[in-house]
Structure 1
Amino acid sequence: MSSDRSPRFDDDLLGLDPEDPEARAFAAHLDRMQRVPSCSVEGYIRGVGDFAESANRLRGPQRAAAVGVTVLLLLVAAWVIANAAGFVVATWV
């Protein structure tokens, strides 16, 4: 018996083999779906971690779309930071 066994096998997934990798992946999926979103820094970081884990499993055009979304978010963040820095410098000079 595994020490990282999900308690879902006792409630929701009765009859499935807890050692089966597909059943474990489905239990982990159910855990992620039931997680309550948090409007805090920790919640946002957890969401980014979930996105990164999902993107790492993708292949083909879906992976390219995930990479495109990530690059777009980074470009927007860089633009916002550059505008804020320019505003601060212009205000103080």
Structure 2
Amino acid sequence: MPDRPSSSPFDDELLGLDPADPEAQAFAEHLDRMQRQRPAFTVEGYLDGVSHFADSANRAEGGRRWGAVLVVVLLLAVAAFLVWEALVFVVTTWL
């Protein structure tokens, strides 16, 4: 945590913890993720949400990880179906 500024908003929560401790560093990262303000209703906000979901899925284990994989597979299946339907519509309209 040496890259964290000394006037961090989490100094009260991290008081007494060893800055070199990996668990304390993980806790500080967790607090940063919880307090981070994300832009909403913009492309950047949506992409940040996808990035946040991917990071969370990579940290997950067991059933939560399989749940995240299932969500991604379902989204890809729906996207593939919609692209196929659009392609069929375009081809049948030209014929």
TMscore range, shorter length: 0.7 to 0.9
Which residue of the partner structure matches residue 62 of structure 2?
Answer: 60
User: Kindly tell me: are residues 9 and 30 of structure 1, through their superposed partners in 2, closer, same or farther at Cα, counting changes over 3 Å?
Assistant: closer
Deviation at 1:83, TM superposition (A): 2.5
Q: How many residues align?
A: 92
Q: What TM-score, normalized to structure 2?
A: 0.72
> What letter corresponds to residue 53 of structure 1 in structure 2?
D
Deviation at 1:74, TM superposition (A): 0.9
- The reply on whether 1:26 has 2:21 as its aligned counterpart is no
RMSD: 2.3
Deviates more, 1:76-85 or 1:25-34: 76-85
Q: Secondary structure at the match of 1:27?
A: helix
Give the unaligned 5+ runs of structure 2.
none
Deviation at 1:36, TM superposition (A): 2.7
Alpha-carbon separation, structure 2, partners of 1:83 and 1:12: 53
Alpha-carbon separation, structure 2, partners of 1:9 and 1:36: 15
Give the unaligned 5+ runs of structure 1.
none
Is the contact between residue 9 and residue 16 of structure 1 (CA under 8 Å) also seen in structure 2? no
Q: What TM-score, normalized to structure 1?
A: 0.74
Is the contact between residue 57 and residue 68 of structure 2 (CA under 8 Å) also seen in structure 1? yes
